[in-house]
Amino acid sequence: MFEDSRSKKIVLLSHCILNQNSTSDGTADYPGTFTEVVNVLVNNNVGILQMPCPELLCLGLDRGDVNGSKREVVEENTRIRQELLTLESQKKINGMVNDLIYQVKEYQKNNFTICGIIGVDRSPSCGVNTTSKRNLEVKGKGVFFNKLTESLKSEGMNIEMIGVKTSKTVEAVSELERVFGFKMKY
């Protein structure tokens, strides 16, 4: 089954890497997509599963505060993180994670390779190595990625995760090459 031209390689990608328009006010580094990361994936024939944006789906595009961009990024991210920890947001996040787990299982059941998961460091929701807490960028996962990690572990799935920053293009591309073996092709 599925013996056609598809590569059968998939990466789960944070929503805002493909759609910078979804980021909190004042944090977009690109007009549309984090082009360099997307190009590496496309040029290596890797399918992209765009994960949902928990912040947008839980708090709206303005993240529940039209004045959010007037604060320092880590201060606003800390506020957003607290909002993502409310019972209502946690219910939505659990649903998003369950949907992703189902999709991963479907791909794996049909012999596709999940190459990895790419998050965005410093994010209150999708941080992998760092997140925002106590008005600082600190080590740890964002709220959404923490739940995703727990769910993957409970399902016995071990999928490599990396965190990139849209403001650090060279480092992001290097990390894709280092961890996944994806090469930048021109």
On whether residue 159 sits in a domain, the answer given is yes
**Domain boundaries, position 81:** 9-180
* Burial class, 12, CB count within 10 angstroms (exposed 0-12 / middle 13-18 / buried 19+): buried
Q: Does residue 185 lie within any of the structural domains?
A: no
Written as one letter, the residue type at 32 is G
- Percent of the chain residues past pLDDT 70, beyond the cut: 99
For 18-35, write each residue's pLDDT tens digit: 999 999 998 999 999 999
Q: How far is CA 45 from CA 38, 66, 91, 124, 167, in A?
A: 11, 39, 35, 30, 25
| C-alpha neighbours within 13 Å on the C-beta side of residue 12 | 30
pLDDT in tens, 35-75: 999 999 999 999 999 999 999 999 999 999 988 889 999 99
* Per-residue pLDDT band at 183 (split at 50, 70, 90): confident
Rounded to 10°, the helix 169-180/35-43 angle is 30
Q: Does residue 3 form part of some domain? A: no
Mean pLDDT of 116-137: 97
Residue 99 covered by a domain = yes
